């Protein structure tokens, strides 16, 4: 007779059995999950190509996130190895290998692009130097302020290998005879393209590197034209033509409405006043200024239907010739001309590619307005200009167009877009409903990007767009097309009047909406992790069609939730140490110094504060005298932070403070504090951001955030210091 086990032995057996059942259950659950995942992927095989530009973007993002400039051969070798692996892999493994290849291809494209645009860039500000150069672009900001982009530079006593390829110089002048293509002479102070004002802020120096802009500055002498039209290159002649058309149109118009008309014809928004631009931004209609999808679609659409209508009026042609294809060719030519005239920005290039693919579909009698069209345009742009991935124009334009195509694809499948007989009122109502839906979808798709890059959210954007978009579609853009037709004959005044009146109405609507309470909603700086999660979740939601696409909502919710986990820095220091921002108990920034500095404006904007909305004297978290200031962070009141302005304060502050920020050099004599940042540290590493706690201080620098990259002024300074030190060690008498 056997007896059941009791006591510890029975407990161990029961525990093993429970673990076994749990293990089997987990295996079944995982098997079921991966089986369902595989079935969902197989069911959406036709959507796999849509992820090709996403993988290219991931590879490009990895390049820009790399801490050091990677070797071109590493990126190219990895891409070739992945391509070989894809060719040799069995059929079921080719898609994973292809994904890896696309990732490395994006990485290699970014490496190659950075090498192709490489050129001399200044590391420090110069004294006034005599510059002779060819004007590449002229931008006018009011009657007395020009901004010239100069190329083909000649600077006396400078070695040819150290002269930048192009520079951008501000000029105070009343002269109006400077034009693109002219060779000019002037004296100017040149500076390196500015880097971020704080770690994680917008990096103008990186964009300047890819624009081949080696310096910025300002003129200290009048500009003298030494040779009109010294350069006759196609790019220069096109810039000159745009400048001539802009000046010709501005002479026939006036005010912000005329400036907006010129912006919609030539893409030059420099004549618009800051007040008008601010109202357009607050009202959420500033996208109408950026020549993008809607503008190109309206331009090509107007030309297509007009040419087709005119050809249809000739029975012999309409019955015997492919007038639809002829109209498509005319529309393609109009789109190319508008692209060149508007400056060929990233949104315009994307819209141009999309319009050409659609028109090519008309030539081939195929429907091309699908998500694949968007994917092709994105892939072409990313391979041609990988740096565009980081630009706000690329992100917002593709977010809007991807969302709109996905929504209208779903609406078409559900039959919501079915026609039916409607009267004039029904058609008008349907059009307004489509405008409202487009505005809601585009606003929702781009709102997070606007909040991340501009720290602003257009609360009443729908109300403004419901009026502004029909005016743009029905009045402004058809008149813009007529302006181009009438310009060679000197008859542009009539259509320009229509553009100006439509622009005036848009500006009035924007001013009215911007005056509503709460229209200007400022948003604190969002963490980069939030942007990544929202983008991944949005792509997952839009690119798939089955129910599993709703997983993307969870990722987007996680991205929004991550906003509340971010902790902003307690102290910000600019590159000179003379402008410092500290955080008070309420979390607001108080800026010390730099009343009109760019760093101050950027810090307050990223903190969602209006300039002037800083703590009052009674709430100031610091105390100052002639020698400096002492700041006690509300999150660590026992920690003293000394902000040193004069050398006489160093001895006392270094003996008492735990953190010392000095606008003067310490020469290594300040050894008591845990953290010392002096003038030399700021010169070598750029602006600092400090997060202060009782148990320690976390320090972030712009140099650390940028890494050892060719567009980093601090990486160039470090390389120069290393070469000088090596020369001293190896030189005579070392």
Write out pLDDT tens, residues 604-635: 999 988 765 555 455 678 888 888 899 999 88
pLDDT band at 245 (very low <50, low <70, confident <90, very high): confident
More confident: 238 or 423: 238
DSSP 3-state assignment of 488?
helix
Residue 3 binned pLDDT confidence (cut-offs 50, 70, 90):
very low
**pLDDT the model gives residue 166:** 94
Cα first-last separation, the chain: 96
**What does each C-alpha distance from 632 to 202, 639, 695 come to in angstroms?**
29, 6, 15
Of the two residues 436 and 336, the one the predictor is more confident about is 336
The tens digit of pLDDT for each residue in 174-206 reads: 666 788 888 999 999 999 999 999 999 999 999
Tell me what percent of the residues of the chain surpass a pLDDT of 90: 34
Distance CA 71, CA 330 (A): 45
Buried b (16+ CB within 10 A) or exposed e, 213-248: bbbbbebeeebebeeebbbeeeebeebbebbebbbe
700 forms beta bridges with 689
Structure confidence at residue 209 (pLDDT): 95
Average pLDDT score over the chain: 85
Angle between helices 424-454 and 528-543 (to 10 degrees): 150
Q: Which of 331-345, 426-440, 467-481 has the lowest mean pLDDT?
A: 426-440
699 and 681 Cβ atoms separated by less than 8 Å: no
Nearest to 5 by CA among 688, 14, 21: 14
Q: Residue 54 pLDDT > 70, yes or no?
A: yes
Dihedral sign for Cα atoms in the order 595, 599, 602, 603: negative
Reported confidence tier of residue 216, pLDDT bands at 50, 70, 90: very high
Indicate the pLDDT class of residue 6, thresholds 50, 70 and 90. Answer: low
User: Structure tokens of 556?
Assistant: 């987007």
What pTM was estimated for this model as a whole? Answer: 0.86
Asked if pLDDT for residue 229 goes beyond 80, the answer is: no
C-alpha to C-alpha distance for 443 and 396, rounded to whole angstroms: 10
Provide, rounded to the nearest whole percent, the portion of the chain with pLDDT above 70: 89
* Angle between the N-to-C axes of helices 461-471 and 493-514, in degrees from 0 to 180, rounded to the nearest 10: 170
Q: Name the strand (E) or helix (H) holding 660.
A: strand 659-662
At residue 438 the predicted structure's pLDDT band, cuts being 50, 70 and 90, is confident
Question: Token match 């932070």: residue?
Answer: 641
Buried b / exposed e over 521-545, threshold 16 CB at 10 Å, is: ebbebbbeebbebbbbbbbbbbbbb
In residues, how long is the chain? 734
Which stretches of 588-651 are assigned E, i.e. beta strand?
589-592, 622-624, 628-631, 641-644
Residue 241 has pLDDT above 50, yes or no: yes
Model pLDDT for residues 497-555, shown as the tens digit of each residue: 999 999 999 999 999 999 999 888 888 999 999 999 999 999 999 999 888 889 999 99
Distances (CA, A) of 728 to 680, 716, 721, 732, 733: 20, 18, 11, 8, 9
Q: Which long-range contacts (CB under 8 A, 24 or more apart) does 490-494 make?
A: 492/248, 492/249, 492/252, 493/252
Helices 293-312, 323-341: inter-axial angle, 10-degree rounding: 140
Name the residue among 170, 169, 217, 163 with its Cα closest to residue 192: 217
Please determine, for residue 435, whether its predicted confidence score (pLDDT) is greater than 80.
Answer: no
Say which residue, 133 or 721, is predicted with more confidence.
133
Rounded to the nearest 10 degrees, the angle between the axes of helix 255-266 and helix 493-514 is 110
Q: Where are the beta strands (DSSP E) in 125-239?
A: 129-140, 145-155, 166-172, 183-191, 215-219, 224-227
Strand partners, 190: 217
Confidence of residue 13 (pLDDT cuts 50, 70, 90): low
Nearest-10 Cα torsion for 242, 347, 304, 445: -150
The structure tokens listed for 290 are: 């950026």
Radius of gyration of the chain (CA): 30
Choose from 230-234, 274-278, 346-350 the range with maximum mean pLDDT. Answer: 274-278
Residue (of 101, 94, 93) closest to 56 by Cα position: 101
Q: Report pLDDT for 730.
A: 40
pLDDT at 7 over 60: no
């Amino acid at each position: 007779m056997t007896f059941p086990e009791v006591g510890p032995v029975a407990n161990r057996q029961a525990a093993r059995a429970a673990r076994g059942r749990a293990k089997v259950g987990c295996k079944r659950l995982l098997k079921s999950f991966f089986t369902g995942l595989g079935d969902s992927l197989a069911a959406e095989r036709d959507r796999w190509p849509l992820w090709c530009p996403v993988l290219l973007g991931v590879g490009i993002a990895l390049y820009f996130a790399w801490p050091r400039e990677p070797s071109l051969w590493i990126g190219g070798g990895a891409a070739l190895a992945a391509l070989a692996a894809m060719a040799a892999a069995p059929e079921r493994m080719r898609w994973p290998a292809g994904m890896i290849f696309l990732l490395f291809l994006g990485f290699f494209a970014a490496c190659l692009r950075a090498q192709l645009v490489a050129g001399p860039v200044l590391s420090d500000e110069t004294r006034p130097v005599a510059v002779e150069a060819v004007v590449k672009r002229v931008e006018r900001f009011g009657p007395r302020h020009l901004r010239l982009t100069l190329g083909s530079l000649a600077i006396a006593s400078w070695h040819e290998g150290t002269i930048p390829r192009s520079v951008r110089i501000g000029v105070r002048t009343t002269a109006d005879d400077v034009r693109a293509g002219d060779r000019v002479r002037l004296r100017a102070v040149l500076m390196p393209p500015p880097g971020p004002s704080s770690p994680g802020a917008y990096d103008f120096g990186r964009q300047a590197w890819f624009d081949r802009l080696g310096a910025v500055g300002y003129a200290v002498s009048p500009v003298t034209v030494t040779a009109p039209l010294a350069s006759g290159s196609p790019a220069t002649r096109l810039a000159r033509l745009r400048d001539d058309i802009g000046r010709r149109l501005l002479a026939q118009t006036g005010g912000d409405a005329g400036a907006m008309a010129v912006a919609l014809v030539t893409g030059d928004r420099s004549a618009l006043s800051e007040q008008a631009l601010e109202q357009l931004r607050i009202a959420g209609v500033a996208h109408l200024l950026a020549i993008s999808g809607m503008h190109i679609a309206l331009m090509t659409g107007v030309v297509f239907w007009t040419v087709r209508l005119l050809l249809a009026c000739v029975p012999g042609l309409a019955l015997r010739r492919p007038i639809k294809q002829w109209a498509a060719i005319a529309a393609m030519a109009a789109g190319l001309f508008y692209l060149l005239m508007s400056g060929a920005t990233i949104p315009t290039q994307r819209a141009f590619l999309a319009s050409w693919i659609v028109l090519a579909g008309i030539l081939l009698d195929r429907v091309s307005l699908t998500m694949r069209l968007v994917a092709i345009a994105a892939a072409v742009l990313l391979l041609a200009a990988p740096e565009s991935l980081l630009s706000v124009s690329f992100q917002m334009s593709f977010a809007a167009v991807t969302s709109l195509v996905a929504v209208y694809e779903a609406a078409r499948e559900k039959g919501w877009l079915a026609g039916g007989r409607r009267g004039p009122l029904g058609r008008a109502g349907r059009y307004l409903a489509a405008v409202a839906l487009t505005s809601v979808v585009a606003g929702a798709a781009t709102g997070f990007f606007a909040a991340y890059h501009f720290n602003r959210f257009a609360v009443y954007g729908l109300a403004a767009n419901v009026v502004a978009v029909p005016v743009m579609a029905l009045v402004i853009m058809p008149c813009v097309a007529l302006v181009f037709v009438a310009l060679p004959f000197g008859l542009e005044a009539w259509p320009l009047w229509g553009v100006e009146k439509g622009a005036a109405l848009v500006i009035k609507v924007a001013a009215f909406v911007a005056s509503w309470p709460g229209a200007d909603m400022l948003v604190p700086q969002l963490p980069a992790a939030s942007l990544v999660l929202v983008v991944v979740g949005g792509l997952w939601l839009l690119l798939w069609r089955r129910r599993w696409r709703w997983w993307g909502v969870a990722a987007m919710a996680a991205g929004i939730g991550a906003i509340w986990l971010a902790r902003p820095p307690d102290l910000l220091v600019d590159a000179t140490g003379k402008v410092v921002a500290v955080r008070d108990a309420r979390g607001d920034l108080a800026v010390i110094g730099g009343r009109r500095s760019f760093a101050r404006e950027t810090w307050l904007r990223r903190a969602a504060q209006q300039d002037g909305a800083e703590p009052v004297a009674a709430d100031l978290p610091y105390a100052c005298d002639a020698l400096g200031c002492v700041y006690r962070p509300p999150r660590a009141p026992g920690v003293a932070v000394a902000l040193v302005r004069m050398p006489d304060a160093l001895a006392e502050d270094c003996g008492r403070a735990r953190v010392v920020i000095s606008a003067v050099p310490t020469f290594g004599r300040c050894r008591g504090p845990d953290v010392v940042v002096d003038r030399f540290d700021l010169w070598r590493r750029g602006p600092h951001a400090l997060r202060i706690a009782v148990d320690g201080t976390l320090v972030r620098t712009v140099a650390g955030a940028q890494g050892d990259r060719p567009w980093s002024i601090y990486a160039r300074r470090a390389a120069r210091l290393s070469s000088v030190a090596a020369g001293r060690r190896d030189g005579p008498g070392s």
